Amino acid sequence: MKETRHLATLHTCFLKGQKRTLPELCQLLDLSRASVMRRLNRLRDCSLPLICCPSTHRYHYAGPVDPGVDFPGLFFTPSETAALLSLSALIEQLNPGLFRSTLEQSRRKILALNPVVPSVLKELSERVRLAPIHHRCIAAEILPVIAHALLHRKRLQFDYPASHAPDSALCCRTVSPQTLLFYRNNWYLDGYCHFRNELRTFGISRIRTCTLLKTNAKNIRRAELIRYFQAGYGIFAGGKVDTVRLRFSGMGACYAAEEEWHPDQTRILMKDGTVELSFPASDHRELTRDILSYGSEIEVLAPNDLRGHIAGIYTKAAQQYAGKGVK
């Protein structure tokens, strides 16, 4: 670690165009002449254009540095360091407190190895902002365990509500994790449930008492995961897949002309200014909420059961608002 830091300091110094004598480099690194020479030779071994001027006995780079040079150890340019630290800050904004200790350790290591950070870093992290809304809280200790199981291909055991009812009993699940998903400001786990013997999606905010098991996870082929989880619409997967047809009008048509509702969607711009979207969907729960958010600027053309379901919701809502209102 120390040697990599010394190499990074020398490299940054020479990148700035500085020319230093051997005694000056010894003072800069607080090392002996022999130790500094070994590190200078390491830079040469990496095909860096390091030379020592015969007349001034000062070390410097003789020309531009190839960005593809394989630098020893972990090293980033100042702009790469700024990007990594800004990304770290953005990740923490997704769920404040989540991975905080791990991210802080990573930041310290990056700064230790790459001490020169652009002055724009602080302003960049303040001016690039994520604004997660409607997100559900996650216990800080759960997501790191899930991430560890994913990377090391181990099974998880956790308690999970049997249904979405507020008083639903907890059910112990053993799951082989497949994919960690951040979707609409919330974290989900796609996994093979050994209790149900099928693929399932679990809301991580609903997971309780998560335990890492020593048993190896069951691996599902990537093609099968894509076919199962991405065949329908949104977070809910499985079941019979229908083709949904929607017609947008007014401002809804303007948005629909630019939005992607599904990777396999078909968009038709009609002569009357309306927009029709067609895409596959299996479970209609999430799709229903999205359709309702457009109000009268959207019409369900197919399938008939979804059209009837939406019409029923609007009928009930109209009855609720038909009175004189709350006094």
More confident residue, 55 or 111: 55
Q: What is the mean pLDDT of residues 248-273?
A: 95
Range list of H helices, 160-221: none
The pLDDT assigned to 292 comes to 98
Kindly state the percentage of the chain with pLDDT values over 70: 87
Place of tokens 């699940």: 173
**Within a 10 A sphere around the Cβ of 114, how many other Cβ atoms?**
24
C-alpha–C-alpha distance, residues 150 and 169, integer Å: 27
Distance set, CA 262 to CA 185, 249, 265, 280, 301 (Å): 18, 19, 5, 8, 17
Residues 6+ apart with CB under 8 A from 9: 28, 29, 115
Residues 6+ apart with CB under 8 A from 34: none
C-alpha–C-alpha distance, residues 270 and 291, integer Å: 19
Does 115 have pLDDT greater than 60?
no
Q: Which helix (H) or strand (E) holds 269?
A: strand 266-269
Predicted TM-score (pTM) of this structure: 0.70
Most confident of 74-88, 217-231, 288-302: 288-302
Kindly compute the dihedral angle of the four CA atoms of residues 78, 147, 93, 97, in this order, to the nearest 10 degrees. Answer: -110
Could you give the 3-state DSSP secondary structure of residue 238? coil
Does 119 have pLDDT greater than 60?
no
**CB-based contact 152:145 (threshold 8 Å):** no
C-alpha–C-alpha distance, residues 222 and 228, integer Å: 10
Does 69 have pLDDT greater than 60?
yes
Kindly compute the dihedral angle of the four CA atoms of residues 203, 207, 212, 214, in this order, to the nearest 10 degrees. Answer: -70
Place of tokens 């053993």: 174
Kindly state the percentage of the chain with pLDDT values over 90: 55
Does 113 have pLDDT greater than 70?
no
Q: Which helix (H) or strand (E) holds 39?
A: helix 33-45
C-alpha–C-alpha distance, residues 144 and 136, integer Å: 17
